[in-house]
Structure 1
Amino acid sequence: MTSDTTRTEPVASPTDRLRRLVARTEVVLWDFDGPICRLFSGHPAPGVAGGLVDWLETRGLRGLLTEAERHTADPQVVLRAVDRAGLGRGVAAELEERLTQEELRATATAMPTAWADPLIRTWTALGVRLAVASNNSPRVIGAYLAGRGLADCFGPHIYGRDAALHRLKPDPYHLHRALNALTAAPAAALLIGDSPVDHEAARRAGVTFLGYARNARKARLLADAGARDVIGSLEPLLRVVRERGPGSAPRPQQHLPHH
């Protein structure tokens, strides 16, 4: 009589999965609003989105929005609608600048994401290179990082929205810009993002994705989008990064540019 035994591979714990992600990461690309801070915590996004809709109405353009878009709480949805309508760079540029001014106001009351500041500083101290790839304005991102004393951790590597709205994520354009500037292969990069569009941009760019979900709704959206690795706090990631210690960062390699 013989026994039939099936060998199964042990399931990696969440901490072990983070260790594997961190071990192969040469560069970290950050989304901004969410993983680094809650930009609109004191200047609510629904009011900003409503102001953009009202401005379109004064231009006789409210009809280009669907009913859902007219009542959205997300200013980015209004921008995407303008891009979809193909109204030309003039309208797009003016709407984008209006949103940038609202975002700049929001930086004064933005809430830092718990553990983000020490995580950014620790990775920098270990020699891992950082960049921001965001649908927010680079002027806003730069202002916030300077206010937190984090600008030197990113240097010039801030890639964000301009009037070319078709380049908003999920288009991987800004991820490619960061990879090219840092001469990094997609396989050596990690994108930390909090939305399905971040996940899709990472997928298109061939970059590993780590989801940050501050609540169950965000976690569900990321899971539905196919994100495998999602954390509800940056604290366990910070612990794993600190484990590695000085001199443990992967040695940067030169790679061909990406297009």
Structure 2
Amino acid sequence: MAADVGEVEDVRGARRLLAGARCVLFDFDGPICQLFPGDRSRPVADELRAMTDAFGAGDVLTSEERVDKDPHAVLRAVHRAGRNRSLPGLLEALEELVVAGEVEAARTAWPTRGADTLIDLLSKRRTRMAVVTNNSPLAAEAYLDDKCLRRHFDVIQGRTADPSRMKPDPDVVLRALRDLKFASQDAVMIGDTGADVDAAERAGVAFIGYGRNAGRREHLRAAGATVVIGSYGPLLRQARQPWEARQGEADESEDTFAGGAAGHHGGGDR
């Protein structure tokens, strides 16, 4: 029962944050889709490791990075080593491989259930939206174009040539805010990792954690997220209900998410 009460409070908290937001910043892989479901990222990571070995730089990888399914782990390792060692062209070549792998994965990515509906609802209330991802912005654009969602997003910011600026560094969040011309207090970020929690906190942006299973939700809370939802379903069901039909909710600010927030427009017309 306590868990149910906690879940209700999280949904209410998420609705309050969205109701007050002028812009919503979505992490891409997780909150919008599963870019590499299961172990599908491993072949890309293996390809990066093979290239690193071919460059004679395999020793820069730790034992954990030797088996990590995340290609970003290899990028970070090579960038780290490059500060003290000459690795001409390796990082650039690895980045090309990762971009190609992520763009290819975008064609078969699994949509996160309810994400398209949430994006549509936010768009109808004229909330500005951006993607803030550690993936290539080209992958996010490819997926959103394919799902006819690109038109809802004013900004797509992703990984740059400097892997050290990936989240938990707030760089990608700050870039999106600059492009949107909003202050941090105007924004809410939706993310699914501890790195997302840290990036949002360092940027001064409110945060909604999205954890599709209990383990991810526990991880987000341990990282400091205070509002964590397990799916968009309860949020969307409440948003579709007319205000009069919802009992036990007296905070009128929550209704702005369901009914369109004329008072929250800003940053120019869409």
Q: What residue number does 1:225 align with?
A: 223
Q: Which runs of 5+ in 2 are unaligned?
A: 1-5, 241-254
Map of 1:198 onto structure 2: 196
1:43 Cα deviation after fit: 7.3
**Deviations for 1:173-232, whole angstroms, at most 9, x for unmatched residues?**
111111111111111111100100010000100001111111122122212211111111
> Where does residue 248 of structure 1 map in the other structure?
261
For 1:75, the aligned partner's letter is P
Indicate how the Cα distance of structure 1 residues 36 and 110 shifts in structure 2: closer, same or farther if over 3 A, else same: same
Q: CA RMSD in A?
A: 2.1
Q: Which residue of 2 aligns with 1:176?
A: 174
Percent identity (aligned):
44
1:18–1:240 contact (8 Å) kept in structure 2: no
Give deviations 1:218-252, integer Å, cap 9, x for gaps: 12221221111111101223234445344425434
Gaps of 5+ in 1: 1-10, 255-259
Which segments of structure 1 move beyond 6 Å, counting only runs of 4 or more?
A: none
Aligned 1:105-254 pairs, distance under 5 A: 105-155=104-154, 157-242=155-240, 244-253=257-266
Residue of 36, 41, 48 corresponding to 1:40: 36
Closer/same/farther in 2, CA of residues 84 and 149 from structure 1, 3 Å limit? same
1:145-168 per-position Cα deviation (integer Å, ceiling 9, x unaligned): 00000010014x000012121211
Deviations 1:40-61 (A, max 9, x none): 1287012221221111111111
SS at match of 1:13: helix
Cα distance change, pair 240–76 in 1 and its aligned pair in 2 (3 A): farther
Q: Structure 1 or 2: larger helix share?
A: 2
- The C-alpha deviation readout for 1:109-136, integer Å capped at 9, x for no partner, is 1000000011111101110000001000
> 2: CA distance between counterparts of 1:73 and 1:218?
17
Q: CA deviation at 1:97?
A: 1.1
SS at match of 1:161: coil
Instruction: Return the TM-score normalized by structure 2.
Output: 0.84
**CA distance in structure 2 between the partners assigned to 1:46 and 1:102 by the alignment:** 10
Whether contact under 8 Å (1:48, 1:102) holds in the other structure is yes
- Matched to 2:91, the amino acid is A
Does structure 2 conserve the Cα–Cα contact (< 8 Å) formed by 1:37 and 1:112?
Answer: yes
Matched-pair contact (CA < 8 Å) for 1:22–1:241: no
Counterpart-to-counterpart distance in 2, 1:147 and 1:200: 30
Residues 15-71 of structure 1: CA distance to partner in whole angstroms, max 9, x if unpaired? 321232122111000000000000112870122212211111111111001000110
